Amino acid sequence: MLVSEMKHTEGYQFNELTLALVPNNCFSCGSPLKINPVLTHLTCSNPRCIDKITLRTVAMFTQLGVVDIGEPTIKKLIRIFGIDCPLIFFCYEPSDWQSVSYENYNESLKRKIDDVYGQLANKRDMTLTQFIQIANLPNVQTSADKLFEDINTLDEFYEQLESGGVAYIQKKLGIQRENSLKSYKLYETFLEYKKDLQSVLSTGFINIIADTRADIRIKAVCTDEVGAPFRKKAEFYTYMDENFGDKIYIDWGKSATKSMDVLIWAGADGTPARYTNKVQKAENWNEQGEGIPILTANQFIEIVQGSANGQSVLDTLESLG
């Protein structure tokens, strides 16, 4: 519910000081704030709040391996160009800077976005599933593979979605129970961002290609340190995509789970590296018999280089576990 509504709802008893400390509106965009049912978390009600667009863009750039641009710079560029969808960065061209007003002109910012333009130039070909994943729509990231399986175009997906409704989402995800909150949220999300996705694709700046890889998906999760020569995991993502993207399908997860096929960590070969929560979880699960391989980036690369296809990589990982 909205914070402003909560403050006037019977059953919620707070003193005046507490109510005064809880803001009604988002500090960034001014939209009403929402509060969760247990009153522990505030979120902006505006799906295109600049803070949300910034975080989605940061995530997109990380997935694509775009480097040397941080969150503050991204936020400035979003303000200057009025960007309300991260994918619009693909539509930028150097000549667009000529329309920037004098008070917003900044040579350093221009160099930054021109550099991003150069980095994105060779990342415009992608599968439909990859397109949906890098958009970083709320609640969609981990479900994109299943939702877009056997779907060839975005229009085809929306035809199925709008005719089948929430039930279509449940069927694609294999959810048996009725009134699935997850399915409802996904349905609402895709309707909310339909025009965003369609508009970016219609520009021609992104080219949707067929997924020619095998159906075998390797679920890999990286810690922040993956090992030399990669300074950041984003560089590792880019290297794997550019060198093995046509050979294996890697589903890069964000969180450590028992279902992951491998955890990439710089310290797997004894090299000093930060012992993270992901590593601790994997090691605890392995003590219980899960058998999740923990490898450095180079160790994983060696396995991929020596394998004929995704199934061969999985077989090797299973033998290590």
Same domain, 292 and 237: yes
Instruction: Give dist(CA 124, CA 127) in Å, integer.
Output: 10
**143-191 pLDDT, tens per residue?**
888 899 889 999 999 999 999 999 999 999 888 877 788 999 999 999 9
Which one of 90, 123, 156 terminates a domain?
123
pLDDT of residue 215: 64
Q: pLDDT tens, 2-30?
A: 766 666 665 556 666 766 788 889 999 99
Provide the β-strand partners of residue 295. Answer: 264
What pLDDT shows up at residue 13?
Answer: 62
Same domain, 92 and 133: no
Predicted pLDDT of residue 149 = 87
Instruction: Give CA–CA dist 241/257, Å, rounded.
Output: 22
Residue ranges of the alpha helices (H) in 181-276?
181-192, 194-202, 233-244
Buried b (16+ CB within 10 A) or exposed e, 197-217: beebbeeebbebeebebeeee
| Radius of gyration in angstroms for the set of CA atoms belonging to the chain, rounded to a whole number | 22
**Does 136 lie in the same domain as 67?**
no
Please tell me whether residues 58 and 110 are part of one structural domain: yes
CA of 35: how far to CAs of 12, 21, 55, 243, in Å?
13, 14, 20, 45
> How far out from the chain centre does Cα 237 lie?
13
Q: Are 99 and 153 within one domain? A: no
Q: What is the pLDDT of residue 303?
A: 95
Q: How far, rounded to the nearest angstrom, does the alpha carbon of residue 127 sit from its chain's CA centroid?
A: 15
Q: What domain count does the chain have?
A: 4
Sheet holding 262-264, edge to edge: 249-253, 217-222, 262-264, 294-295
Is residue 188 located within the same domain as residue 263? no
pLDDT at 254: 83
Same domain, 7 and 54: no
Q: Examine the fold and report which residue of 80, 97, 123 is the final residue of a domain before the chain moves on.
A: 123
- Report yes or no on whether pTM surpasses 0.85: no
Which of 123, 149, 166 terminates a domain? The answer is 123
The residue ranges of the chain whose pLDDT is under 70 are: 1, 3-16, 18-19, 212-215
Question: 275: domain range?
Answer: 217-320
